[in-house]
Chain A
Amino acid sequence: MKRLILLLTTATLLAACAVQAPPPRAAEQPQPAAPRTLTIMTHDSFGASEDVIAEFERANNAKVVILKSGDAGSTLNKAILSKDAPLADVLYGVDNTFLGRALAAGILEPYNSPALADIPDRFKLDPQNRMLPVDYGHVIINYDKAFLKDKGLAPPKSLRELTEPQWKGMLVVQNPATSSPGLAFLLATIAAFPEGSDYDWKRFWQALRANDVYVSPDWSDAYYTQFSGSSGKGPRPLVVSYATSPAAEVFFSEGKLEEPPTGNLEGTAFEQIEFVGILKGTKNRDLAEKWVDFMLSKRFQEDIPLQMFVYPVAKSAAWPEVFVKFGQPPAQAFSLTPEQIDQGRERWIEEWTKLVLK
């Protein structure tokens, strides 16, 4: 027993030591003054190049700590719940579907960044600049080119066409109650078939349900396990995903694919814009401003596409070749204002759940 306890205690201590000392990062060089720490709270999908972040750290004598805090909704909740003792200086990753809630919670400080000059006005949804646009993307239906060709089907040209019999059992969507692209797609259908019209979104979803739509809880399951066009080789040829997914398929094929195996269905897109903001109560306001400027600068903006597979908002940012060739945004996208979304979200999700799942 003693040996067992000894063994366990030693293991614990050793392990604790190992955890205490993470390997030093190459980017950290000795500085005359100790670097200040800047903490960024964000969602699990955040990505960036090592050398881009290192550049910011060098230029500002800072150490950047990234706190990944779950999906976009959970991250925002944690920021709201910790507003009396903020966990971070900056919050990144709130999108237009959650913007209203973030602004209403009063957790952000306005900042009129000079870098906003390089950003088209249509992305600036908060006139007080508490949340500043960083990137945008489109939730859209992807289709499996080979599957459709095999069956002799032309890709559907509208949302409405998905309710026709030839598409029975072919579409995979995500549950809007548990998935952010799922919510965006529900919003697209609400914008396309507005409430109060003859054929409203509820009728559309009733028809989809009758046409055997499959509901996945999240994007990973939908794309890899249910969708036939991915490497997971699932059973169904249509999936709610992103407009950049076909480009990503080429990029991650390691030179095997010259053309994407999948395509986007025009007329099914919903635009998502992601925002950054300075958290109220930060003790590093000046450094936080520098970070916001940096995220909107050409250097960071050009890093965005291949790290997060969304589009940079800055006009001056150049796109990588694979985006230019295969990742063009759709010609049209549905949209709703943050106020509309904020007022309707809870009720729409409830109604959708009753309609489609019960």
Chain B
Amino acid sequence: MKNAELRIEKPPLLNSQFSILNLALAAPALLFLVLFFVWPLIEIARVSFTPSEISRGATPFSVLLDPAHLRVLWFSFWQAALSTALTLLAGIPIAFAFARYRFAGQRLWRALAVVPFVMPTVVVAAAFSALLGPRGALNAALQSALGLDQPPIQLLGTLPMILLAHVFYNVAVVIRLVGGFLSAFDPSIEEAAAGLGANRWQTFRHVSLPMALPSVGAAAALTFLFTFTSFGVVLILGGARFATLEVEIYRQTAQLLRLDVATSLAIVQMAVTLLVGWASARLEARASAPLEARPTRDIRRPAASPAARMLVAGSLAFIGVVLVLPLATLSWRSLNLEGNDPLRYYVALSENVRGSLFFVPPQTAIRNSLIFAAITAALAMLLGLPLGYAIAQGGRPNANGARLARLLDALLLLPLGTSAVTLGLGFLVAFDRPPLDLRRSVVLLPVAHTLIALPFVVRAVLPAIRSFDPRLREAARGLGAGPLQALRYVDLPLLAPPFIAAMIFAFTISLGEFGASLLIARPEYPTMPIVIYRFLGQPGALNYGQALAMSTLLMIVTAVSVMVIERVNERVAAQ
């Protein structure tokens, strides 16, 4: 099962044609990244390292001499490593259950698992507090059951709380990426292992896991970067005692206006990202082996054995208790707050009692959110899929430009590991003159979201494209199909699950208003998370109630959108 054994030899001429094609495939995405990522960063670095009142000569090397910064770097690193390990531990069995077994409500459960991904941290903090806080439901129940004076669970403001929140946010990444990968490829090899006398654990350990390794690597890299650059979770749920590099960059920028220090720290953060990108790119490229793709419906079977049923039940219990229950507590509150009529705060969302200029009807917020998310998903897929193919094909060991492809693969994760604060200021100084005075343009919103979504899309589809046995496609070409036709009738139907996973995350990354702080000065196109933050900015039951109501709407919109995207794409793929 080594890559080399199945390498397809091609005459040199074909090879160079391929590299031109690959370049053409990669070009749009590369142009996008140079314009909206590389250039703003160069500009902000130029401003930050030119001596002035906001820059006093710090460099990426000098900031590392400060033990306080080293401690922050070290904490960012090990908490991310630990969070990633826990997320994989929880996510892989669930991914396996979803990929291999069929059960009632599967689509809904899978959609529910994605909902945490879009929730604003301040809402998630409120949810965990309502459940696990000193006056939360669990503590209240335990206290009355055991007759205790003090709440027995003291999680808020501790490291375990940060880790739990990171699992809560990122487990969907593992479920979707690994699950999507597994449900595209033929499980008969697992059955063969079982037939040869391997028990379930041995089959999983020696067959399924190595088979899924490229997608596990991708999910791990993405989870690591999300948690390495964690901002809100560490700030709010960590109770201010913990700081990641991202938190320190924000502090240096917003409160101290030390751009030299902030940008230096951002460069350190990017260096670590590059290492992670490089390591994961190597792991994924090495671990990928040609696999036989099969339609998902032929892969999933009913959970018949007791062990299979336990796996499914355990997976659903995890999603129900860890992911759904905290959020459901808040929705429940939105219906019961201050003994009001259950729908009072939902109705209030449409009332502009104070005649405020900034009033946003809920349908407008939902519409804006959906529009930006749709544009982001479209843009990220249109740029990301071709780039994924270019990297996978160009990166084959004997291909021309293999080095370039491998370098791209490693560099690709950089936007995920770049400080949003720094990049936002980069936009401010880079796009300040015609023809590109985009600072106040609404275009920057989907552009910023796409910057995060694009690496995600490529990383999500790469393992599947790499493992996809090229002989299938070549057979289609041999029968006279053009390259696009081969893509449409061979790749697309068979690789639908990982492609859908990629699209769903591109969509939800925007829906969750990732990188909102990126935007330097936004005109009024408020999205759902922005409206939630606004309500939480003023005291009073009406504000809190409306924030909870809007959060509940966000959960519903997310779950429904995810299900619709899945359904529509599966139909398209099946045709």
Number of A-B contacts (CB under 8 A): 217
Is A224 within 8 A of B540, CB to CB? no
New A-B contacts (19) at CB < 8 Å, excluding given A19-B525, A214-B157, A253-B541: A8-B381, A15-B371, A44-B534, A44-B537, A65-B523, A74-B254, A80-B257, A85-B433, A85-B437, A87-B521, A178-B235, A178-B254, A223-B539, A231-B337, A232-B129, A235-B133, A249-B539, A254-B541, A345-B255
Is B442 within 8 A of A19, CB to CB? yes
Is B522 within 8 A of A67, CB to CB? yes
Counting CB contacts under 8 A, is A60 at the interface? no
**CB nearest neighbor in B for A262:** B539
Bound-state Cα–Cα, A31 to B312, Å:
66
Contact stretch, chosen from B19-27, B349-357, B457-465: B349-357
Is B354 within 8 A of A306, CB to CB? yes
Question: Which residues of chain B have C-beta atoms less than 8 A from A299's C-beta?
Answer: none
Is A254 within 8 A of B236, CB to CB? no
Q: Select A81's contact among B47, B354, B355, B492, beta carbons within 8 Å.
A: B47
**CB nearest neighbor in A for B348:** A254
Bound-state Cα–Cα, A309 to B537, Å:
11
Counting CB contacts under 8 A, is A109 at the interface? no
Tally chain B residues at the interface, Cβ within 8 Å: 79
Is B357 within 8 A of A82, CB to CB? no
Residue interface bits B363-392, CB-to-A below 8 A is 1, else 0 = 000011001101101110110000000000
By a beta-carbon cutoff of 8 Å, the part of chain B in contact with chain A is 47, 53-54, 122, 125-126, 129, 133-135, 157, 235-236, 239-241, 247, 250-251, 253-257, 337-338, 352, 354-359, 367-368, 371-372, 374-375, 377-379, 381-382, 425, 428-429, 432-433, 437, 439-440, 442, 484, 487-488, 492, 517, 520-525, 533-534, 536-545, 569, 572, 575
Counting CB contacts under 8 A, is A191 at the interface? no
Is A175 within 8 A of B240, CB to CB? yes
Q: Select B54's contact among A3, A65, A80, A178, beta carbons within 8 Å.
A: A80
Counting CB contacts under 8 A, is A50 at the interface? yes
User: Can you list 24 A-B contacts with CB-CB less than 8 angstroms, sorted by A residue number?
Assistant: A7-B572, A11-B375, A15-B375, A44-B534, A47-B357, A66-B358, A67-B440, A67-B521, A68-B522, A78-B520, A82-B428, A85-B437, A215-B239, A217-B240, A225-B129, A225-B236, A231-B545, A232-B126, A233-B135, A235-B135, A252-B542, A252-B543, A253-B338, A256-B541
Tally chain A residues at the interface, Cβ within 8 Å: 89
Is A9 within 8 A of B378, CB to CB? yes
Is A1 within 8 A of B484, CB to CB? yes
**CB nearest neighbor in A for B339:** A256
Most buried by A among B129, B357, B524: B357
Question: Which residues of chain B have C-beta atoms less than 8 A from A337's C-beta?
Answer: none
Question: Which residues of chain B have C-beta atoms less than 8 A from A321's C-beta?
Answer: none
The 5 closest A-B pairs by CB, nearest first: A252-B540, A1-B488, A235-B134, A215-B240, A67-B521
Question: Which residues of chain A have C-beta atoms less than 8 A from B533's C-beta?
Answer: 44, 220
